[in-house]
Amino acid sequence: MKVEESIGQKKSAVERELESILSQEDSLLFQAMRHAVFSGGKRFRPILALSSGECFGAPADLVLPFACALELIHNYSLVHDDLPSIDNDDFRRGKPSCHKAYGEDIAILAGDSLLTMAFEILAKAPLRENSRVKREQIIMEISQSAGVKGMVGGQLMDITVSQDALTEETYHELILKKTGSLIIASVKTGAILGAADASELEAAVKYGRNLGLAFQIRDDILDSGQDAKKGRLPRPNYVSLFGLKDSERRLRNFVEAAKNALDEASLESEELRYLATKLLELEKRS
């Protein structure tokens, strides 16, 4: 099976599971949650978790609930990021942002609901009796990645660090919190549910860190100039800090570093290598 087909099957499995999760009722709140989640996302994080799990021998049905929980957390963050008080984005993936479609009040509650539902899924996901320690480890990992030490802390840096005060070290810290933390958690989730030993888990983290940096640099390259168009103060951005050519060079370097992390640990995963390489594609997103 070609790697694109295998990843496509994983994405389809994620879509079906998310559809099941978010079809519990047809209330206004669930409509807003569905609007946020089914707006055309690529499902990068859950696919990453499933591909990592496969690399380390975890069955797909075991990883799937955890993968979907990660996607709910990611989408909650996008709903809140788009709010007028933060990024003030009227559109997400070419469609009206949740707060434009349903109002700020409902959007805030939809984001809150996606986050709390994710942890309900993590707590209920079927695991063997002897795997409780793995569940606790994953919940701790994801909660830290999503919270003050991770994504939320990175978002705070994003809205408070001025462009003038930005250094390479500061921006890498911001990226690894805001974007990298959940990507690393996705890779670690699959590894923990599989049979990864300590050295393999370390390699998975190294892969995830470099992947997270590459992911954000790619976004910055594609998004450069958007702050000016929206009439808002410039946010930290790799292109404004290093220039376009240097940013593209660094993107290539981080992608190679991610793949090298797999090679150094002798981890065979065509999908994980493919997901890293895809970040080098710089076509404009819809």
Per-residue pLDDT of the chain (286 residues; tens, 9 = 90+): 799 999 999 999 999 999 999 999 999 999 999 999 998 889 999 999 999 999 999 999 999 999 999 999 999 999 999 999 998 999 998 899 999 999 999 999 999 999 999 999 999 999 877 777 899 999 999 999 999 999 999 999 999 988 788 899 999 999 999 999 999 999 999 999 998 999 999 999 999 999 999 999 999 999 875 654 555 556 778 898 899 999 999 999 999 999 999 999 999 999 999 999 999 998 654 3
Question: What is residue 228's predicted lDDT score, i.e. its pLDDT?
Answer: 47
Domain annotation covers residue 130: yes
Domain annotation covers residue 246: yes
Question: What is residue 217's predicted lDDT score, i.e. its pLDDT?
Answer: 96
| Residues forming beta bridges with residue 91, ordered by sequence position | 96
Domain annotation covers residue 55: yes
Question: What is residue 20's predicted lDDT score, i.e. its pLDDT?
Answer: 97
Residue type (1 letter), 28:
L
Question: What is residue 224's predicted lDDT score, i.e. its pLDDT?
Answer: 75
Domain annotation covers residue 248: yes
Chain center to CA of 246: 24
CA distance between the termini of the chain:
28
Note down the domain range covering 12: 3-278
Domain annotation covers residue 286: no
Residue with tokens 């290093």: 242
Contact between 81 and 41 (Cβ < 8 Å): no
**What is the domain count for the chain?**
1
Using CA atoms, how far apart are residues 108 and 114, in angstroms rounded to an integer?
Answer: 10
Using CA atoms, how far apart are residues 179 and 220, in angstroms rounded to an integer?
Answer: 12
Domain annotation covers residue 86: yes
What is the rounded radius of gyration, in angstroms, for the C-alpha atoms of the chain?
A: 18
| β-pair type (91-92, 95-96) | antiparallel
Domain annotation covers residue 254: yes
Which CATH number belongs to the domain containing residue 257 in this structure? 1.10.600.10
Contact between 37 and 20 (Cβ < 8 Å): no
Its pTM surpasses 0.85: yes
Domain annotation covers residue 284: no
Nearest to 51 by CA among 205, 202, 273, 213: 273
DSSP character at residue 92: E
